[in-house]
């Protein structure tokens, strides 16, 4: 999400904060969590929203960097997660320029409920940058929202096929998931979700 698309999230920060907090990390992400295999490492949460996922990952033992471009939402989230050492960064897709300055490589990159805000012309660059940020064997998880917009935020059509085509050009491997697509956890009948998971290549053994 770009900074100029943060307006609804700033204007209604408390509403979105409360909405995101009404679901648990496990409710939203249970279908791909087994692929983490109980490992931990350095995680990047892109479009971290209320900090729910960043906090859950920190409590599972991950070191977490959380990216959120909406200043008001980030303020609420930083406060809610202050008891955990989560590094909050004001940054946005497609460029993630602040994150790239850190020169970290991440074992997990989570892009949850963000991709549908990205204009089609920015997506391949965003995917390229996200895969560049992966450590060897790192996992990229992108959740895709399908369905009409809410009149307030900008949504674009997204497909897993498009992500898979980017992945082929980036030498990351698609991980099949059993139960995609999924119904909306907030019970919006016209909204449904899909998750795409990709693995970076392992480090070549010396």
Each domain of the chain, given as residue ranges in start order, spans 3-12+39-199
- Rounded to two decimals, the pTM is 0.86
Nearest to 61 by CA among 111, 108, 105: 108
DSSP H helices, 92-196, are 97-101, 120-132, 160-170
pLDDT digits (tens, 9 = 90+) for 27-80: 778 888 888 888 899 999 998 887 889 999 999 999 999 999 888 888 888 888
Query: What is the distance between the alpha carbons of residues 39 and 75, in angstroms, rounded to a whole number?
Result: 30
> What is the architecture, at CATH level 2, of domain 3-12+39-199?
3-Layer(aba) Sandwich (3.40)
pLDDT in tens, 162-201: 999 999 999 899 998 876 666 656 566 667 788 999 999 8
């Amino acid at each position: 999400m770009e900074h100029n698309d943060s307006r609804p999230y700033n204007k209604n920060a408390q509403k979105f904060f409360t909405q995101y907090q009404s679901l648990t990390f496990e409710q939203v992400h249970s279908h791909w969590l087994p692929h983490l295999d109980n490992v931990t490492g350095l995680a990047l949460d892109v479009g971290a929203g209320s900090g729910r996922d960043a906090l859950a990952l920190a409590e599972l033992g991950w070191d977490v960097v959380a990216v959120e471009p909406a200043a008001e939402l980030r303020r609420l989230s930083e406060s809610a997660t202050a008891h955990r050492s989560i590094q909050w960064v004001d940054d946005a897709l497609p460029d993630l320029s602040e994150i790239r300055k850190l020169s970290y490589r991440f074992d997990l990159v989570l892009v949850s409920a963000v991709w549908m805000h990205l204009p089609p012309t920015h997506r391949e660059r965003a995917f390229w940058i996200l895969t560049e940020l992966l450590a060897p064997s790192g996992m990229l998880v992108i959740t895709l929202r399908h369905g009409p917009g809410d009149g307030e935020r900008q949504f674009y059509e997204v497909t897993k096929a498009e992500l898979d085509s980017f992945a082929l050009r980036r030498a990351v491997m698609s991980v099949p998931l059993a139960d995609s697509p999924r119904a909306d956890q907030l019970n919006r009948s016209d909204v449904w979700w899909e998750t795409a998971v990709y693995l970076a290549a392992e480090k070549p053994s010396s």
